[in-house]
Amino acid sequence: MPAIEVQGLSKSFRTYKKEPGLSGAFRGLFSRKYEAVHAVKDVGFTIEEGEFVGFLGPNGAGKTTTLKMLSGLLHPTAGSARVLGCVPWERRDEYRRQFALLLGQKNQLWWDLPAYDSLELNARIYGLTQEQFRKTVDELSAMLSVGDKLSTAVRELSLGERMKCELIAALLHQPKVLFLDEPTIGLDVVSQRVVRDFLREHNRTRRTTIVLTSHYMADIQELCERVIIIDHGSLFFDGRLADVLDRFADFKLVTVSFLPAAAPADASRYGEVVESSPGTLRLKVKRDRVIPACKALLDELPILDIDIQEVPIEDIIRQLFQRT
């Protein structure tokens, strides 16, 4: 049985449209105008146990709303979903003990208490024994290198240290499904690396099913083979990350270095010119034209170096969001 099954999931909110001015506020006391905002529209997908899936979309696409429905925090307007065989919004203890939701912009640790105290409280809530609690905290804190920070008040921790402690809190009860919403937001490159390595290892060793949203494409590239892309609340793409390149990027980047005096009179005949400077030329070349273009460049110019690259995945995703 898949870990997550979603069919036709939709969520709409009714928002009040206030007319401007004092008179508008007064009229609103007796007659109000509402409009429906469709946050999620007919989304469906299946995620198998142990998969690490990237959940992508621009701001306002419906990513967080979907995760909140799968966590049981929101009831859908229509559709169905099952996570580990349970209906999330029924909020049964059987389900709540098997998943965790980590929101990168919201704290679950008590701000004025040491992180260890909050972790101990969570352990009591989940019914962990003292031995289970200590073993898990020791293991996770060692992997995240924050063992010496657990006795420090949360408000005195750096953002990276706080996020690592939040991860420990989310994984304390060893959930089978983990929803991560922007876990590396605002972190420096070192902390991002530590968090990525930790999540990769945890997924590999524990077979935890993880759904990750992130605006840092490095997170997605390093951790997720599969991505689900939604926009304006609807499913846009579901498949391997590598297929995004094949499907939506029909060109490659070719960079050549040559003697400055030998600059071509018309470089556009090799491909679309992206950048041109004395001795360097960067081109966008259709995939089926890369080999002929490189051969022509080598035959006609005194080439010192040639480099062929795929288009950066973040550029492709950005273009997709702008197009949709």
| Rounded Cα distance, 242 and 304, in Å | 31
Q: Do 178 and 206 meet the contact criterion of CB atoms below 8 Å apart?
A: no
Q: Are residues 129 and 158 in the same domain?
A: yes
If asked whether residues 217 and 306 sit together in one domain, one would say no
Task: Please say which residue of 245, 279, 304 terminates a domain.
Answer: 245
Q: Which of 245, 260, 295 is the last residue of a domain?
A: 245
Could you tell me if residue 18 is inside a domain?
no
Same domain, 66 and 183: yes
What's the structural domain count of the chain? 2
Which pLDDT tens digit goes with each residue over 275-305?
Answer: 888 888 899 898 888 999 999 988 888 888 9
Query: CA dist 156 to 8, 152, 195, Å?
Result: 44, 7, 20
Q: pTM higher than 0.75 for the full model?
A: yes
* Of 216, 245, 274, the domain-final residue: 245
Q: What is the pLDDT of residue 324?
A: 52
pLDDT in tens, 213-224: 988 888 888 999
Question: Is residue 185 in some structural domain?
Answer: yes
Residue 109 resides in a domain: yes
- What pLDDT is attached to residue 249? 74
Do 151 and 288 lie in a common domain?
no
The boundaries of the domain holding residue 106 are 49-77+89-245
Q: What is the CATH number of the domain that holds 272?
A: 3.30.70
Q: Looking at residue 148, what is its pLDDT? A: 92
User: Which CA distances in Å does 135 have to 123, 130, 170, 177, 323?
Assistant: 12, 8, 15, 20, 49
pLDDT at 323: 61
Question: What percentage of the chain reaches a pLDDT higher than 90?
Answer: 52
Q: Is residue 82 part of a domain?
A: no
Gap between the Cα atoms of 100 and 95, Å rounded: 10
Tens digits of residue pLDDT in 232-268: 888 988 999 888 877 777 788 999 998 877 778 788 8
